[in-house]
Amino acid sequence: MATQERPIGFWLKLVDQLVDDQFGASFEEHGVTRRQWQMMNLLVEGPATQKQLSDGLRPFFPAVEAGTSEELIEELRESGWVALEDGQYQLTDLGSRSLENLRGAVDRIRQLMTEDIAEEEYTALLAVLQRMARNLGWDGDVASGPRVDT
């Protein structure tokens, strides 16, 4: 099958897997998972309970993995990147510095991913994907779709 004849589902799944692979390898070098990085990004907005973190990450976790968010936040706590106070998790100073270091890696991956793609093309791609999602039943509710940058 010629490249241009492959359906959109092929390209969406392929790009999604490649993005996961790139972020996974980069974050592994820093000792965190992509989901832990997403948790840390949520905590930049302020302290959050376990439920708030789980709810914020729900779009990223398949149903079978939903319980793993507690394990992931506990690993961050054990590493000193996150603290638990009065039932709420918050970034520590070490966690904030670590997150800043991770942002450099994320920026490099984003730059690689959009190399040779004009800003107008990228903007148009996002608009088309959003319309496709709406056509397939997505209601545009931020809570029902990914919020954390990737």
| Lowest model confidence (mean pLDDT) among 53-62, 116-125, 136-145 | 136-145
Q: What is the pLDDT of residue 61?
A: 64
Whether 115 has a pLDDT exceeding 90, the answer reads yes
- Amino acid letter, 147: R
The values of phi and psi at residue 125, to 5°, are -60, -45
What are the angstrom distances between the C-alpha of 64 and each of 61, 74, 105, 140?
8, 19, 29, 24
pLDDT, tens digit (0-9, with 9 covering 90-100), for 14-72: 999 999 899 989 898 888 988 899 899 999 999 999 888 888 887 766 554 545 778 88
Torsion on CA atoms 11, 14, 20, 22, rounded to nearest 10: -100
3-class secondary-structure state, position 49: coil
Specify the DSSP element, H or E, that contains 91.
strand 88-91
User: Average pLDDT of 8-16?
Assistant: 93
| Lowest model confidence (mean pLDDT) among 1-5, 84-88, 101-105 | 1-5
- Residue 102 gets which letter from DSSP? H
Could you tell me which residues are beta bridge partners of residue 82? Answer: 91
Q: What is the pLDDT of residue 148?
A: 42
